[in-house]
């Protein structure tokens, strides 16, 4: 975001002390919630405000401080009711000492403490509803989850989540604002990925020349749908491919061994490879001829779908969750398939792999244009700061809607 962007007017009002925005979350270790926290903190600083984050810490704290934000270490990951209660007083002290103007909670355990502290001190309280959250047996966890729908403003990361909030928690109307997660186009830009980076991956994974590459990124866990893709590949044997399952089993080896056994049983050993984590995902996407998301549970947003499209790749995703909001289906920018259906995924794979070079180029241009128009990081930051500005009584007229 540029220093002179419209959000600068939203948080930096002449003659008024710049607001301090406190974001709270369990840890700053890794993940989309953590990444979004840092991006919003950077936007706050660039817009003339002061950014403060409280968490138990983690390896991303250094990145947070590099964008000009402050971090305070508190035991906010704990779900122990006694710790949550003590965190109320800790946060009240922090809000008072730092002159916090608004509190933004991004996870349930810290939200319980943050809501109580903010309301005790008359400070606006915002939440971001990041997922559907497990309701537990007989819906017993619904009351615990409900704190994320109890902000003065509730940010839903997709229309799918907005509908979920209304259906499950009965919260709708102007209190809920949809702000899609944003893609960082400085990183996920096909023109910025060098041939050398792609060659490194080709050599590392021993990929043959001229064979289409299918990529399914995501940690190796059952609901990410790796098994669905493997079964679909068995139905498109007439197309030689290399399918890469990019992600770690995080030490839980039972599922990865199950996948290897399935690959062997379906005689796909030469076609499907579990390659582990990769720290250069833009190069992975650019290397791919097709990017697949096969999650069996609805994704609240779908980072793989958004990043793959931003890199101009044909994307295939299940027709549930937020994927239909991101993909213009039918080959416009990608394909949707019936969730958990290997047959329908095979149909989409066959269509995507049949694209001519000219059709692929046209799809790539459409996908990148759509992502840049609707799903950029800067737009996410602008819209979030507009929510802050409204609650703080600042001028947000110039801020993107």
pLDDT tens, residue by residue, 71-115: 999 999 999 999 999 999 999 999 999 999 999 999 999 999 999
Question: Does the pLDDT at position 346 exceed 50?
Answer: yes
Mean pLDDT of the chain: 93
User: According to the model, what pLDDT value does residue 134 have?
Assistant: 87
Question: Does the pLDDT at position 401 exceed 70?
Answer: no
Give dist(CA 109, CA 132) in Å, integer: 15
User: According to the model, what pLDDT value does residue 397 have?
Assistant: 42
CATH superfamily of 190-374: Glycogen Phosphorylase B; (3.40.50.2000)
The packing angle between helices 81-98 and 108-120, to 10°, is 50
β-pair type (242-246, 272-276)? parallel
Question: Does the pLDDT at position 237 exceed 70?
Answer: yes
- pLDDT range class, residue 390, cuts 50, 70, 90: very high
The one-character DSSP state at 243 is E
Percent of the chain with pLDDT over 70: 95
Report the run of H or E that residue 129 belongs to, with start and end.
Answer: strand 125-129
User: According to the model, what pLDDT value does residue 353 have?
Assistant: 96
CATH number of 7-182+376-392: 3.40.50.2000
User: According to the model, what pLDDT value does residue 59 have?
Assistant: 93
- pLDDT range class, residue 7, cuts 50, 70, 90: very low
User: According to the model, what pLDDT value does residue 386 have?
Assistant: 95
Question: Does the pLDDT at position 324 exceed 80?
Answer: yes
- pLDDT range class, residue 395, cuts 50, 70, 90: low
pLDDT tens, residue by residue, 263-281: 999 999 999 999 999 999 9
Identical fold for domains 7-182+376-392 and 190-374, yes or no, is yes
The one-character DSSP state at 299 is P
The packing angle between helices 253-265 and 226-233, to 10°, is 10
Give dist(CA 345, CA 338) in Å, integer: 7
Closest CA to 225 of 132, 143, 323, 127: 323
Domain chopping of the chain, boundaries: 7-182+376-392, 190-374
pLDDT tens, residue by residue, 148-160: 999 999 999 999 9
Give dist(CA 285, CA 304) in Å, integer: 9
User: According to the model, what pLDDT value does residue 139 have?
Assistant: 79
User: According to the model, what pLDDT value does residue 8 have?
Assistant: 43
Question: Does the pLDDT at position 62 exceed 50?
Answer: yes
Closest CA to 295 of 345, 224, 226, 227: 224
Question: Does the pLDDT at position 15 exceed 90?
Answer: no
Question: Does the pLDDT at position 231 exceed 70?
Answer: yes
Helix (H/G/I), strand (E/B), else coil: 175: helix
């Amino acid at each position: 975001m540029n220093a002179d962007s419209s959000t600068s007017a939203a948080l930096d009002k002449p003659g008024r002390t710049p607001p301090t925005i406190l974001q709270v979350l369990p840890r700053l270790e890794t993940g989309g919630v953590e990444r979004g926290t840092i991006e919003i903190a950077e936007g706050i600083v660039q817009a003339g405000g002061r950014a403060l984050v409280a968490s138990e810490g983690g390896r991303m704290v250094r990145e947070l401080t590099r964008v000009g934000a402050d971090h305070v270490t508190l035991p906010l990951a704990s779900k122990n009711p006694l710790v949550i209660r003590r965190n109320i007083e800790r946060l009240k002290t922090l809000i008072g000492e730092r002159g916090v103007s608004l509190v933004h909670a991004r996870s349930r355990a810290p939200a319980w403490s943050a809501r109580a502290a903010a309301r005790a001190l008359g400070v606006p309280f915002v939440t971001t509803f990041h997922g559907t959250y497990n309701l537990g047996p007989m819906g017993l966890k619904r009351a615990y989850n409900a704190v994320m729908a109890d902000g003065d403003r509730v940010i839903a990361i997709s229309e799918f989540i907005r509908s979920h909030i209304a259906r499950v928690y009965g919260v709708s109307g102007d209190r809920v604002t949809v702000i899609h997660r944003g893609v960082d186009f400085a990183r996920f830009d096909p023109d910025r990925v060098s041939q050398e980076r792609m060659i490194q991956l080709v050599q590392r994974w021993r990929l043959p020349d001229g064979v289409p590459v299918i990529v399914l990124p995501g940690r190796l866990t059952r609901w990410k749908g790796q098994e669905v893709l493997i079964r679909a590949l068995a139905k498109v044997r007439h197309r030689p491919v290399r399918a890469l399952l990019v992600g770690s089993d995080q030490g839980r080896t039972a599922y990865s061994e199950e996948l290897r056994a399935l690959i062997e049983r379906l005689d796909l050993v030469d076609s499907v490879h579990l390659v582990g984590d990769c720290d250069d995902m833009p190069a992975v996407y650019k290397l791919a001829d097709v990017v697949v998301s096969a999650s069996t549970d609805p994704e609240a947003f779908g980072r793989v779908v958004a990043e793959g499209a931003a890199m101009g790749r044909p994307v295939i995703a299940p027709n549930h969750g937020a994927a239909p909001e991101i993909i213009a289906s039918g080959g416009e920018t990608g394909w949707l398939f019936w969730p958990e259906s290997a047959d329908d995924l095979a149909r989409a794979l066959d269509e995507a792999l049949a694209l001519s070079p000219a059709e692929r180029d046209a799809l790539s241009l459409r996908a990148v244009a759509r992502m840049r128009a609707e799903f950029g990081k800067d737009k996410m930051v602008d819209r979030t700061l507009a929510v802050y500005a409204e609650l703080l009584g600042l001028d947000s007229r110039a801020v993107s809607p």
